[in-house]
Amino acid sequence: MAKNKGEQISGAIGDVIYSSWKGRAYVKRRPKSVANPRTEKQQSHRNGFGALSRLSSAMKEGHKIGLHAWALREKLDTFSAFKKINKNCYSADGIDYARVCISRGSVERSYVTSAKVDNQGVVHVTFHSNTTLENQNDQFFLFVCCPDQREGRCAAPVARTAGEVHASIPAEWMGHPLHLYAFMKAEKGNRTSDSDYVGQFCTSE
């Protein structure tokens, strides 16, 4: 439906579309059809975009923290930032989880030295703290994603000096592949480190 805005009309009347741009009025006809050849490349792109959108939703608890500062600088929300950063992580074979980034920044990393998920559904991770006088109050974040359940969760953060973290996963995640990521967050502000992919794990039901 077209709307009258003072001396200008905007919207559609029949197959005629009225619009304005930078104060100038434009009129154009609605196309009779839209090209949609559904080529293999086009379908692959659509599948990849859809997969990244679902992954962005599943990983929101992680990237809302890890990509917050970077997204602000790019004038994006973290969902859009996640998809922009990870747009090349999808192929015909699916998502390459080892390349997925949920955090970006210049904070000193703490590298994971061991990780396992036991049969009771508890994740155990140890890490090298890389502690200095300036960063000793930073926090270590562990993020666990279960793609089959389209969900991911951050474990309660621990101090950089702790050197280890333990977290229970939901019962419904048992028996499904889990992907673990880790990143650091500075004591003050929203600055973070780049994220590290810890690996893929699976537990017995």
Give the residue extent of every domain in the chain. Answer: 1-34, 40-202
Q: Residue 17's Cα: distance from chain center in Å? A: 37
Contact 115, 198 (CB under 8 A): yes
Residues with Cβ within 8 Å of residue 86, at least 6 apart in sequence: 52, 55, 99, 100, 101
Can you give the pLDDT at residue 41?
59
Can you give the pLDDT at residue 18?
80
Can you give the pLDDT at residue 38?
64
Can you give the pLDDT at residue 15?
79
The predicted model scores a pTM of: 0.76
CA distance 7 to 173: 60
Can you give the pLDDT at residue 182?
97
Low-confidence ranges of the chain (pLDDT < 50): 1-2
In the chain, at which residue ranges do the beta strands (DSSP E only) sit? 3-5, 8-13, 16-21, 24-29, 90-91, 94-95, 111-117, 122-128, 139-146, 151-154, 158-159, 164-168, 177-185, 196-202
Can you give the pLDDT at residue 175?
92
**Cα angle value 71/76/78 (rounded, 5°):** 60
Can you give the pLDDT at residue 158?
95
Can you give the pLDDT at residue 9?
72
Can you give the pLDDT at residue 26?
79
Classified as helix, coil or strand, 46 is helix
For the domain spanning 40-202, the CATH number is 2.60.40.10
Contact 86, 99 (CB under 8 A): yes
Contact 75, 37 (CB under 8 A): no
Can you give the pLDDT at residue 91?
78
